[in-house]
Structure formats: structure tokens, C-alpha cells
Structure 1
Amino acid sequence: MSTAPRLLRLAPAAGRGHIGAKRRRLPMQTRNKFFDDMSQLMTNAMGLAQGAKTEAETAFKGFVDRWMADRDFVTREEFDAARAMAQKAREENTALEARIAALEAALAKKKG
């Protein structure tokens, strides 16, 4: 009957471990408190860092929003509305220029 090898460590015998004393075999400890504590510490530190990152992003976004509000920037909707009004005014100016040119031509015919 063949068994798979197991990880074992030798523990000292009950008699204070004098030379030549027989040792009994114990299974290796699979968990180490130091590493568990370090793992928990790192996990907590990452959570803290994530919280600090979120806090910093929120504060920076608030700062940028306040700064932009103080600069009297317009919204995209306001800009589009102003651009549409300017385009309409240009079209009206072109139409009025054509009308004035026609009236001046008619006046010149009448005088001449």
C-alpha cells in the first residue's frame, strides 16, 4: 500500500530532546499568526487607501466645480442657444443687405 508523502516536522520528544532521543512526527502548522496578522494589516491598509482616494477625488471635484462656477463659464446648452441666435442674426443681416441693395437700385432708377 503506497501513500502520498505528507509534510511533517519533527517535534522533540518529551524528554527535553537529549541526544539520541526518539522524535515523534507532527503535521506542519499550515497557518502562521504573523503572516495572518500582516495579511490583515495590508488588507486594512488597502481599504484605508481606497477610502482616502475616494475622499480626495470628491474634494477635488468639488474644488473644480466651485472654481468653474466662479469663472462664469456657460453650459453647453447656453452656448448652443447663443450660437443659434448668432446664426439667425447673420441670416437676417444678409437678407436686410439684399433688401437695402434693391431699394438703393430702385431709388437710383427713379432719380436717373
Structure 2
Amino acid sequence: MQVDNKLLDDLARVAGGAIGALTGLRGEVEAQVRQQFERILSQMDVVSREEFEAAREMAVKARTEQEDLTERVTALEALVATLVAERELSHAAPGPKRSARAHGAADQTPAPDAS
């Protein structure tokens, strides 16, 4: 029975050592893959996450300001249209009739003859 236990202990040690070696190998492979990706990305013209987020925030701010300005322009156009319409109505409507005297008829009397 002890021979079986010794054999099992040896197998367990070999398996543990293999697992340890595979774990170390896995970590090394991951590090190599990460380095290779970093090297490829550094050669490409790719923005960093921070640069992307900053540009995104600027775009959101610009879009919001553009929408606000569009609303203001629309409101101002409506105001101008209303004022133009009111002005046209006030000029088109006949005003109260004035007497001939109000139009300067009194000034049109002939001057006395000096001769």
C-alpha cells in the first residue's frame, strides 16, 4: 500500500509542478502578447483613451451650444416676422382723415400783390 501512496505522491508532485510551469508560462505569454499589442498600437496613429474622451466632451458641448443657438435664432426670426407683420399692418391701414388745414392748405393762399 505504501508503494501506491508513494506513486500517487510522485504523480501529484509532477502534476503540481506542471501546473506551476504552465501558470508561469501563461503569465509570460500574456506579457509577450501585451507588449506586442502595445508595440503595434504605438506604431499606428491611434488616439489614447484620454484624448478620445476629451474630444468627445468637446463635441457634446459644441452640439449643446449649437442646439441652444438654433433655438435662439428661431425665436429671433419669429420675433422679427411678428414685428414686420405689425409694421405692414399699421402702414396699410388707413389712418384718420386730416383736414386740409392740417395738410398745409392754409400756407397755399396767394401772397398779396406787391405792385
TM-score bracket for this pair, using the shorter chain length: 0.5 to 0.7
| 1:23 alignment partner in structure 2 | none
Match of 1:102 in 2: 82
Is there any run of 5+ residues in structure 2 with no aligned partner, and where? 93-115
Counterpart of 2:71 in structure 1 is: 91
Question: Residues 31, 103 of structure 1: CA spacing in aligned structure 2 closer, same or farther, 3 A cutoff?
Answer: same
Normalised to the residue count of structure 2, the TM-score between the two structures is 0.51
Instruction: Give the drift of 1:103.
Output: 1.9
Give unpaired runs (5+ residues) of structure 1: 1-5, 10-26
CA shift, 1:61, in A, is 5.0
Tell me, in whole angstroms, the C-alpha distance in 2 between the residues paired with 1:46 and 1:57.
16
Q: How does 1:1-112 map to 2 (within 5 A)?
A: 6-8=1-3, 28=6, 30-31=9-10, 35=14, 39=18, 41-62=21-42, 66-68=45-47, 75-112=55-92
Supply the RMSD in Å over aligned alpha carbons. Answer: 3.7
TM-score by length of 1: 0.52
Once the two structures are superposed, what CA deviation does each residue of 1:76-95 show, in whole Å capped at 9, x if it has no partner?
A: 21011111111111111111
Secondary structure, aligned partner of 2:10: coil
| Corresponding letter in the other structure for 1:96 | L
Which amino acid letter does the alignment assign opposite residue 101 of structure 1?
A: A
Q: 1:17: which partner in 2? A: none
Alignment identity in percent? 19
Higher relative contact order (CA 8 A, sep 6+): 1
Relative to structure 1, the CA distance from residue 43 to residue 101 in structure 2 (aligned partners, 3 Å threshold; closer, same or farther) is closer
Greater share of helix: 2
- Can you list the C-alpha shifts for 1:6-38, whole angstroms capped at 9, x where unaligned? 2328xxxxxxxxxxxxxxxxx845437xx47x7
Per-residue CA deviation, residues 28-72 of structure 1 (Å, 9 max, x unaligned), is 45437xx47x726434422321211332343455456x3347xxx
| Number of residue pairs matched by the alignment | 86
